Structure formats: C-alpha cells, structure tokens
Amino acid sequence: MGIQLGQIAPDFEQDSTEGRIRFHEWLGNSWGVLFSHPKDYTPVCTTELGETARLKPEWDKRNVKVIGLSVDPVDSHAGWLRDIEETQGVALNFPVLADADRKVSTLYDMIHPEADPAVTVRSVFIIDPNKKVRAIIIYPPSTGRNFREILRVIDSLQLTDRLKLATPVNWQPGDAAIIVPSVSDEEARRLFPQGWKTLKPYLRLVEIPKQAAE
C-alpha cells in the first residue's frame, strides 16, 4: 500500500545538493513540499525547478520548505542545476535529493512499474508541521505541474486548519468559504459574527477577508 493521506510522512536520510538531509529534522516546524522528477536533464522538470525557485517568497510567506528529488547522483544534479540557471534565469535555492539508491523513491511509492520501472513518477507530497501527509498529486510525464495550484492547496489547508471551514470549487484566498456541516448555526454565529449566506442547511457560505485566508 502506498502513502495515505493523514499518515506520518516517512522519515529518511539521503544525500542532496545541500548535503546529507534527515528529512523530519530538516522540515522542523515548517510545512513541506516534496516533489519528484524522473531523472536529471528532463525538459519539463527543468522548467518546474526554475519556477519553484522563483516562488521562494511565496513559500516563505506560507512557512513552506520545498525539496526536489531525482534518482541521479549529486554530481549529475550539479550539472543540471547549472542548466536550470542558464535556461530559466534563476538559481536553485532549495535542495534536490540524490536518490541514486531509490531509497526515498521506494519509501514514497514513486516507482510505478507499469509506467517505467527505471524512473520515478512525478509526485507531489504536501506535508504539514506535524509531519502528516495532507495532499498527494501525481502528474504524467508530458504535463508540467501547476505550482500556483500547489500554493492554492496549501492556502486552503492552512485556512481550514485555523477555522472550521472547507473551500469550494475554484476557491482562491479572499473568496467565500463553506462552514463545515458539523458546526451548528449557534456555533457559527460565534465563530463568524460577520454572518453568512445559507443556500441549503448544509451549504453555508461565509466571506473570509483575503488576509485571514493567507
């Protein structure tokens, strides 16, 4: 069985472009995004790593640490990182695991024999400060990941951890959220004195200021 939502993210120790990393220790009290790449010098992933580096202010604002993974060794990563800086116009500012022995890939079920037993699938794991896996997204090799969507998921998770809310379809910070059905109207009046709009007894929309959602 693969990784399940809500379980503790498996800990590991592995080499990286920033030295040996003990994963849980490295995460500390931060949120984490662990995302894998099939191997070095792949074109789609080259663009993704550049975008991840550009988004550093957004990760920092949300207390998120990002870490990549590829099954090639550190010396291969070094050459790829130079290519990324040259083609994407930004230097990497986060570690990339060198999972040459497939230890982390196996631990996180990133190797799918039906896809290609020689490479990892392109997985994203969002992990909270309690080290619990909160979201898993898997992409096909031909489709670049949408890191703005990953940020949106983190925004939703952080908001709904703070308040008794869920976020509706296409939600963005500042949009109305849903009061969860387990909250009575009486409790909702205390939690959301600004009031809400009831579409159905189970569907109550409440406006949340953008600053409260970030």
Q: Which residues are catalytic?
A: 45
Signed CA dihedral, 201, 6, 135, 138: sign only: negative
How far is the C-alpha of 162 from the C-alpha of 128, rounded, in Å?
13
How far is the C-alpha of 95 from the C-alpha of 68, rounded, in Å?
6
- Pure H helices in the chain: 23-27, 43-54, 56-61, 74-88, 103-107, 147-162, 185-191, 210-213
How far is the C-alpha of 120 from the C-alpha of 124, rounded, in Å?
12
Q: How big is the CA angle at 3 (ends 12 and 117), to the nearest 5 degrees?
A: 80
How far is the C-alpha of 10 from the C-alpha of 154, rounded, in Å?
20
- Kindly provide the b/e burial profile for residues 116-138, where b requires at least 16 CB atoms within 10 angstroms of the residue's own CB: eeebbbbbbbbbbeeeebbbeee
Beta strands at 197-200 and 21-22: parallel, antiparallel or unpaired:
unpaired
